[in-house]
Every structure is written in structure tokens, then in C-alpha cells.
Chain A
Amino acid sequence: MKNARVFFTKDGACKYISHLDTNRVMLRAIGKSRLDIWHTEGFHQHAYITFALPLSLGFASTCESMDFRLLDDNADMSAIPEMLNACLPAGIRVQRCVEPKYKPADIDSAAYAVAIEPMNAHDISLEELYTKLNDFLNQSAIIVEKKTKKGKKQVDLTEYILDCSTDFDENILLTLRLPAGSTLNINPSLLIGAFAEYCGVELHSDMTRTGIFTKEGKPFE
């Protein structure tokens, strides 16, 4: 048996597949591809797969990963992306299959690209929105309410923003790095929600997760 990790992208219609449904889609693809992987034992036997970091509904991603165990020690990993892609919807594409280098617990942060526009174009011009975005980010504190297991909690997002930059040519683009992983996870929607409140207009944001990193700042491999 050997451990395998596939990296895949999620885009287009597949942005709207929830984490739970992604799991289902992957299991079905593995069944269909006849990839020989380890199954859980017991009454409800099923192929055993795990995901390093769940992705929120509506997010695209260039860096998702899924782990499983190949039963055949000599299995050719390079053939796996093609096998799975033939069995997956077009919006999910497996890029490569490798032996895992890090554990999911090593994950410490994730990077996002967020394209922002007003929900209704006549509410605010893009120029004005861009100015507001920079003003918003330059505040000394950004207080939001974060839901935790213990209830609601006030947090200052500026303490958590690891990297942040803005850009504007045709669209407004916010590039971010935020804490991620099982201990502390900050969803970029929190920041966008706070920004929408700050400008008082309804916003539409198109989110893409672009990278997942370890404590040492290395890409999660």
C-alpha cells in the first residue's frame, strides 16, 4: 500500500459543489475509474479518501488536494490524473498525483484571489469602490463577528491578514493570504462581508483559492 495525493482544480459549474458533494463526486469517479484504492472495512465499505482543507461553496480553486492509499505498491502515479479526469465533471481537473510530503496538520495559511464588483453596477463606480477598498484595508482595526464552536466572537481581522494587495485594471482584484487549517481558519468572505458593510453597497465577489502553505511558508505538497 502506498499513500497518494492528487492535486486538482475546481472551477466553473463545479464551484457550486459543496464539500460534502465533492466527496461524493470523487468517490464515484474513483469507482468508475476502477482505481484500486484502500476501502474502509466493516458493513458500509467505501473507498477511503480525505481532503486536506475543505473549500467553501462558491469558491474556485487551483490547489485542492485529496489523499488516498493505493493498494498496488508499484502503481504508476503519473497515469492517475488521466484516469480520474475521464471520470470527473469538466470543472474538476486533476493536475498531478504525488506521494504526500506534508501532513494536512502542517497547513498554516491559504492564499486567495478575490475579484470584487458591486452587485448592481449603478450603486457605485469601480473607481470609487477601489478607493474605498484601499481605505478599508488601511484601517487600524477591522472588527467582525466570527462564529466559533463556542458562539459568536468579536475579532480584529487586521491581526490575521498575512499578506494583502489590491489591483485594478478591468476588475478590482484583492490578493490575500489568511490563516488556514484545523486550528485557525479565516474565511475571506468575512473580510468581504465587512467591506460590503463598510461601503454600504451589496457586493459580488468571485473567490479563488490560489495556494495552500505550511508553517514554513512552503507550498503544501
Chain B
Amino acid sequence: MYPKEIEKYLLKVQKPGRYVGGELGEVIKDKHDVDVRFAFCFPDTYEIGMSHLGIKILYSLFNEKPYIWCERVFAPWIDMEAEMRAHDIPLYALESGDPLTDFDFIGFTLQYELSFTNILNMLSLGGIPVLSRDRHDLNHIVVAGGPCACNPEPITDFIDIFFLGDGEEVDLEVIELYRECKRDGKSRAEFLRLAAQIPGVYVPSLYDVSYNDDGTIKSVIPRDGAPEKVEKRVIMDMDSCYYPDNFVLPNIEIVHDRAVMEIFRGCIRGCRFCQAGFLYRPVREKSIDRINEECHALCRNTGYDEVSLSSLSSSDYTQVVPMLKKLNSWAKPEQVSLSLPSLRVDGFSDDILDEIKTVRKSGLTFAPEAGSQRLRDAINKNVFEDELINTCRVAFEGGYTTVKLYFMIGLPTETMDDVAAIADLGKKVLDTYYSVENRPKGKSPRVTLSASSFVPKPFTPFQWEPQDTMDTLREKQQHIKASIASKKISVSKVTYNYHDTDTSFLEAVFARGDRKLNKAMLLAHQRGMRFDSWSDCFSLQNWLDVFAECGIDPAFYANRRRDFDETLPWDHLDYGITKDFLKRECERAYASQTSPNCREGCMNCGMKKYGGGVCYEKR
């Protein structure tokens, strides 16, 4: 329930439905009946946050516990923020309408670096001191998890606890510990010290970081018995892992409004640019029976007529066709359509197409990532041109007319020839369309080439690489455009989109940043900066001003090549991947040499220690 006083302002803002809750499936409890109140904050708008699977899983998991009440909080858009600030309305949770100050935990999910400023803004809107050191009592514990927790150093001044890896178990252990500490009258400091003993918990205030004269890290020393290395948590048995059988059903349109079924975690591929592909290793699958059961319940309970079978690379599910067939045994008669997002070029077969095209036929998207085979080898994107062309042919024969291809520019070892090859590939796909005899009649094909700027990320073989400067990236974008023109590809049939180099630069700064960036983050917040991932709000110049004032050179983080033996800001965090493996993979990239995926041959990345998953499958 929203606070009564906001009613007056709701009709002055865009999409007031974002701010009122009241959806089917929201969990309402009596606050007097619970011991722990958890505000699950998504540092972006309602429409984006409500589309996110992680929040759905943890929301339901927490609320299954009678002693926890977990509520949702999203970042108000700038129009609503202005009203709230003008009328002293603190940021509130959608279920109770209570301000953040009423909560024991304020939890954020860290999905992208450019949402960091929103975290500070949400804390301040909620009346919570933004700096950890200004929070004293045993309440208002600010926690964060999600992929960006793998290098949380730029926001260590603001967050009390980071959760590393799968959250389902560790989050509850920390909540339970809090409950005990509260009961025993322990202090905030005591609680944090005890929490640091739980595997997967990183309490940044218990680590002292010192620097060399050149600005690189000299040492990271734990205090008060905190572990030297914090290891991520992994849930090995996906069949026994909690999965919600219902979602909160939004009343307004959101980005992805459909049922989502997670079919496995991790990725066998090892594309060298992809952070998620390494962070979530090893691959652990859910069984077909479990997927079938959970998926059917979810569709029945939510009423959705579309379910997305989610993972990092869904066609890599070992039994993908039998799974689709099993699901379709009820999905077809119940008019529920199945979709496989993140489909690989080589994972696209007639069999799969038969099972998923039944109801809807939208455009196809593939991510070859690089234009030339040489560069695809260097990044270990094991996709071959003939596979892509064959797949497009199958799709065109099956009635598809639009194909969207995603690429990256600025990849390590990339030359201008590799860049021009992006346009070539677009041309070849278009030619394929015209070579198909039974292509859809009366429709014009459309090939979209989309290029984003590569951002080197921690825990990948490219973690030591410099990002191309913004000038180089712009040059490369122009080169693609020029190459399209010289190929005489009709502009109406091939579109070319490119993403902002400015935001990629900032992303690169924060992705591999260290604790010195906390100062910049705070200053940016004090200057009212937020929603950096939205072009409406982002300004690179504002950021450059902030860095200059803090004496920070952003190029040190974004554009500098690191030595293999440099101590990296995230070296005290352990995601299971060994540095030795990453080094080997980086060297293979320099030699344009591919590596087998986990099912073809093990590269000993370090994940065997978890004792299960793909590492122990029969090959």
C-alpha cells in the first residue's frame, strides 16, 4: 500500500502505476508478526526491476519464511523523485508503503555498473545514511549481491555486506544470524564480524587496502578474523534449489512480462569476453521432470501464455528437444508458447524450431560477436560462418524475414579488417535470404547489425586488457558504416545500431575499479547524478569533472594494460576460476587459438573443486 500523501502527486508523474504496488501475488504480512524486514531494492525503474528473475526468486524465497517480510523497492524516475524530494516523502517499499528506515535489511542487486549511483540515491531518498560508517545501530544493514559483486570495490564505502555467488542459501544464513544477534542484543560491529565468517560473505570494512606509488594495489589485509579470500557460494543440486511457483504480476506493462523458467546455471562455452560465463561456472542443470513440473505450476499460477526457458545459452541444455517436447505436451493444448532466449547459432535446429515456433514468430537474434573467423577464434566464440549462414537459411525457409546480429567492437587483437568483416557478414546473410527458393513471399528481409563497445571485465581472460579509447571506438564504428556503404547494401534492408562509447567507458572504469573510486561515487551522488544507464540522465562530462576533482584518472582503470602479476582489486575474492587458467586463456587468445567447451574437453578452470555439474559429466 502506498502512503496516502503521495496520491496528490501521482497524477503529475509518468506511469504512476510504478509507485503503488497492489499487484496480484504481492506478499502482505503484518509487520508485528515478523522478526526481520527486508527491503529488496532494484536500482532501476519498476519496469526493468520487475522483469528481473533474481528478484522474483529471492522475494518468494524470503517470504516463504514466516519470520521474514521481504518487500520491493524500485528507483523512482526523475519526475517522481522531484515530487518526493519537494514534499519530504521518503522512499518507501511497495507492499507496506513504509520508508526504508523501517527495515532491518536494505538489499540491492548489482546487475550493471551504471546503476551504482542509483544505489546511493535510493539510500538517501529513503533517509538512510549513504556511508556505512555513519550507520551505527543493529538495523539498516545494507547488503548487495549479483554479478557486479565480483568487483564491488568502487562501492565499498556504502555497502556493509556483499554476497558472492548463488544467493539462495547465504542470504538466509545472514538473515538468520542477524535475527540471533538482534535477540542477543549484539552490536552492529559484532554482527558484521560474525557475518564475515559465513562462506560467501564479504564485509569490505574488515579489509585494509594499501597502494603502490603507481596507484596499483600493494596489499589487501583482512582484520578481525575475516577470511583472506572470500569464496563464492554455489548451489550444486539445481533440483533441490528453491524456485518460485508464482510471480508478482505487474499491473502495468514491463519489459519482459512473461513466465521465466531457469533451466540451468552456468555456461559451458568459455567465450573469453563474457563475465557471466565464468562467474556462474560450473554448469548445473535442472532435470527435465523438475523443469516440467515447476514450469507447468508457474504457468498455471500466473496465467502467462508465454514462458521463456532461461539460461546463458539455452540450446546447450543436454536434452533440449526432449525437454521442449515434454513441455509442449501441455503447453500446446493450453496455448502457452515456449521461447528460448540466448539461442546460439549452432544450437538452432529444425527440431527446436518445430517446438518453439508454434505460436509466435518473431525476429531472430544471434550474436556472432565478431565479424571475422580469426577474431571469433581469439575470443573463443566458437561460431562458424557456414553455421550462421545455414541457420539463417533454415530460419528463412521457416518463414522468418528479420535477423538481428550482435557484435562487439574493441575486442582484444582486433584489426580494422576484423571490423570491416562485420559488414561483410551482414551482406552474406542478406544474400542468403535471396538464395532461398521458398523464402517468404511479398516481404522484405531485414538484417540489423548491432555493435556495442567491448568492456573488459574481472574474472575473464581479458581482465588485464586495456579498453580501446573512445576515439578508437568511434573510428571503428565509422569504419563499419563505410564498409556497409562500399558493399552497396541497401540501407533499408541492413540497419546498423551502435551503442554509446561514453557509457562503455564509464562502465569500464567501474568494472575494474578499486576503492579510490568510492570518493568519486560519493561526489557524483552529491551532485545529483543517477540513472547513468539512461541517456536522459547520463553525462560523460559530469563524470569527467567528478574524476578531475577527485584527482582520479579514469584511463588508469579503463585503458591501461595490467601485468599478469599485478594485484587486482578483486584478487581477494574467489569465484572458483583460477588466475592460472585465465592467463592461459588470454595467451591462447593472443595466438587466435580456440579452447574446447566443457563438454568437449576440460580446460581445468578450477571449478572441479565444487564436486559436481558438467565437470563430472560422462564425456
Contact = CB atoms under 8 A, between A and B. Distances in A.
A16 B17 contact: yes
Nearest to A56: B11
A90 B304 contact: no
A91 B16 CA distance: 15
B22 A58 contact: no
A101 B305 CA distance: 32
Given A31-B303, A31-B305, A14 B7 contact: no
A44 B358 CA distance: 11
Given A31-B305, A58-B11, A14 B24 contact: no
B2 A13 contact: yes
A74 B302 CA distance: 27
Contact of A32 (B19, B20, B251, B303): B303
> Of A45, A88, A90, which is in contact with the most chain B CB atoms at under 10 Å from its CB?
A90
Contact of B304 (A13, A28, A119): A28
Interface string B285-304: 00000000000000011111
Interface residues of B, number: 27
The majority secondary structure among interface residues of chain B is loop
B252 interface: yes
B16 A16 contact: yes
A17 interface: yes
Contact of A89 (B8, B23, B300): B23
Interface residues of A, number: 28
Interface in A1-34: 12-14, 16-18, 20-21, 24-25, 28-33
Contacts of A204: 7-8
B80 to A, nearest CB: 12
Contact of A13 (B21, B301, B303): B21
B335 interface: yes
Nearest to A46: B305
Contacts of B19: 16
Contacts of B335: 45
A135 B252 CA distance: 40
Given A89-B23, A89-B24, A90-B22, A17 B303 contact: no
Given A21-B253, A58-B11, A14 B22 contact: yes
Contact of B17 (A18, A28, A30, A31): A18
Contact of B251 (A21, A31, A58, A87): A21
Contacts of B11: 57-58
A206 interface: yes
Contacts of B21: 13
B249 A28 contact: yes
B10 interface: yes
Interface string A167-202: 000000000000000000000000000000000000
Contacts of A57: 11, 16
B24 A58 contact: no
Contacts, number: 70
A45 B336 CA distance: 11
A70 B151 CA distance: 56
Contacts of B8: 119, 204
- Looking at B16, B257, B360, the one whose CB has the most chain A CB atoms below 10 A away is B16
Contacts of B305: 31
A24 B253 contact: yes
A89 B303 contact: no
B303 A29 contact: yes
A132 B253 CA distance: 40
A87 B17 contact: no
Contact of B10 (A17, A21, A58, A87): A58
A127 to B, nearest CB: 20
A30 B305 CA distance: 11
A87 B22 contact: no
Contacts of A30: 303
A111 to B, nearest CB: 21
B252 A18 contact: yes
B359 to A, nearest CB: 8
B303 A87 contact: yes
A17 B251 contact: yes
B251 A13 contact: yes
Contacts of A87: 24, 303
B17 A17 contact: yes
B24 A21 contact: no
Interface string A124-153: 000000000000000000000000000000
Interface in B302-350: 302-305, 335
A9 to B, nearest CB: 14
A17, A29, A45 pick with most chain B CB within 10 angstroms: A17
A21 to B, nearest CB: 5
A133 to B, nearest CB: 18
B20 A16 contact: yes
Interface string B210-242: 000000000000000000000000000000000
A84 to B, nearest CB: 11
A14 B251 contact: yes
B302 A32 contact: yes
Given A28-B304, A32-B302, A89-B251, 20 more contacts: A12-B1, A12-B20, A13-B2, A14-B22, A16-B10, A17-B17, A18-B17, A18-B252, A21-B252, A21-B253, A28-B303, A29-B303, A45-B335, A57-B11, A58-B16, A87-B24, A89-B249, A90-B22, A119-B8, A204-B7
8 pairs of A and B residues whose beta carbons are closest in the complex: A32-B303, A13-B22, A13-B20, A31-B303, A16-B16, A16-B17, A204-B8, A89-B24
Interface of B: 1-2, 7-8, 10-11, 16-17, 19-24, 249, 251-253, 257, 300-305, 335, 360
Interface of A: 12-14, 16-18, 20-21, 24-25, 28-33, 44-45, 57-58, 87-91, 119, 204, 206
17 contacts: A13-B20, A16-B16, A16-B19, A18-B252, A21-B17, A21-B251, A21-B252, A28-B303, A31-B304, A32-B300, A32-B303, A57-B11, A58-B11, A88-B24, A89-B251, A204-B7, A206-B7
